[in-house]
Amino acid sequence: MSTVSTRAPARADRPAQSRPPAKRRRPRRREQQWPAYVFLTPWMLGAAVLTLVPMAVSLYLSFTDYNLFDPPQWVGLRNYQEMLTEDPRFWRSVGTTLLYVVVAVPLKLLLALGAAMLLKNLGRGRAFYRSAFYAPSLLGASMTIALVWRALFNDGGSVVDILGSVGIDTGGWVGNPDLAIYVIVLLTVWQFGAPMVIFLAGLQQISPELYEAAALDGAGRWRQFVSVTVPMLSPVVFFNLVLEMIQSFQVFTPAFAVSGGEGGPADSTMFYTLYLYERGFTASHMGYAAAMAWLLLIAIGIITLILFRTSRSWVFYADEEGR
């Protein structure tokens, strides 16, 4: 079974079923169109007023100096220039966020895949474990859990004490610039249940015949995993990777809670969005914040594009075979 590298369209773009040809006749065309626009009115209004126009406005604002009260002053590329060449805190926030994304996302996905593989072979109790492992994914986004995390990893917190009792003396993580970011990494990884559920659904769609055929050919468990599970699961891996990556770039609440709202200690938890909030809403540099938002959009766009491009060589869509 070789990986088919035909162009892989985004899954969303593919219609679920092809329409019956009879429907392609075009009687009463006008009559059939207007209800669609009525159905779409709220969405179109939202897309225009709350998405498209704000996008254009924030692009414009990113070239201005704007404090919300006085009219925006056009400054050209000044914000971008200051950001890229004169603002060490900006680069610090970029570094922190990238470190976080690069560590947290793969860890979370590995754990999710491991848990999904484990649960797949668990006969009884699978539904229970699946739900229980999923629970942190819902709770984890809350301020409450962020506060719990801060307390657990603070000086004298339970986790620090437990680590100390087994001989790992770390001191409080929250106040340590080298460790504070990992409090947030662990909080993210703790929420592996959401990608796990998606992995599990993907695993269940792999036909058992493939495993039987592989076993007949003498493939052991590891070989089956590499040659059957991984390629068949690659679309789901891809989906989870893109989703988690986009979400991780925007992490805010835990960073806010763990750092006391200030990205400390020593800016070590000053995540990109936290710095954006600080620039825009605390320091009233809305233009600067808008420029940061646009750089974030561009960065996410580029990384997503790279992922989509490279996906052609490693994502395998079974239903594309022979197309």
Is 293 near another protein (CB under 8 A)? yes
User: What is the distance between the alpha carbons of residues 195 and 265, in angstroms, rounded to a whole number?
Assistant: 31
By beta-carbon proximity to another protein, the closer residue of 72 and 95 is 72
User: Taking CB under 8 A as the criterion, which residues in 5-64 touch another protein?
Assistant: 10-17, 32-33, 35-47, 49-51, 53-55, 57-58, 61
Q: Whole-number minimum distance, CB 125 to another protein, in Å?
A: 7
Q: Whole-number minimum distance, CB 110 to another protein, in Å?
A: 14
Is 131 near another protein (CB under 8 A)? yes
By beta-carbon proximity to another protein, the closer residue of 17 and 85 is 17
Is 202 near another protein (CB under 8 A)? yes
Q: Whole-number minimum distance, CB 168 to another protein, in Å?
A: 15
Is 118 near another protein (CB under 8 A)? yes
Given 1, 102, 110, 132, the residue binding another protein (CB under 8 A): 132
CA distances from 159 to 149, 164, 174, 180 (A): 9, 8, 12, 13
User: What is the distance between the alpha carbons of residues 242 and 240, in angstroms, rounded to a whole number?
Assistant: 6
Q: Whole-number minimum distance, CB 254 to another protein, in Å?
A: 10
Three-class HEC string of 262-321 = CCCCCCCCCCHHHHHHHHHHHCCCHHHHHHHHHHHHHHHHHHHHHHHHHHHHHCCCHHHC
**Selected range binding another protein among 84-92, 101-109, 284-292, 314-322, rule: CB under 8 A:** 284-292
CB-side neighbour CA atoms (13 Å) of 183: 37
**Beta-strand relationship, 73-74 and 64-65:** antiparallel
User: Residue 209 gets which letter from DSSP?
Assistant: H
Given 1, 102, 110, 138, the residue binding another protein (CB under 8 A): 138
Is 225 near another protein (CB under 8 A)? no
**Selected range binding another protein among 84-92, 95-103, 212-220, 278-286, rule: CB under 8 A:** 278-286
By beta-carbon proximity to another protein, the closer residue of 2 and 17 is 17
Of 133, 130, 132, the residue nearest 204 (C-alpha) = 130
Q: Whole-number minimum distance, CB 144 to another protein, in Å?
A: 4
By beta-carbon proximity to another protein, the closer residue of 106 and 260 is 260
Given 102, 106, 161, 302, the residue binding another protein (CB under 8 A): 161
* Number of residues written out for the chain: 323
User: What is the distance between the alpha carbons of residues 63 and 79, in angstroms, rounded to a whole number?
Assistant: 7
Which stretches within 62-175 are classed as H helix? Answer: 78-81, 88-120, 126-139, 143-153, 158-165
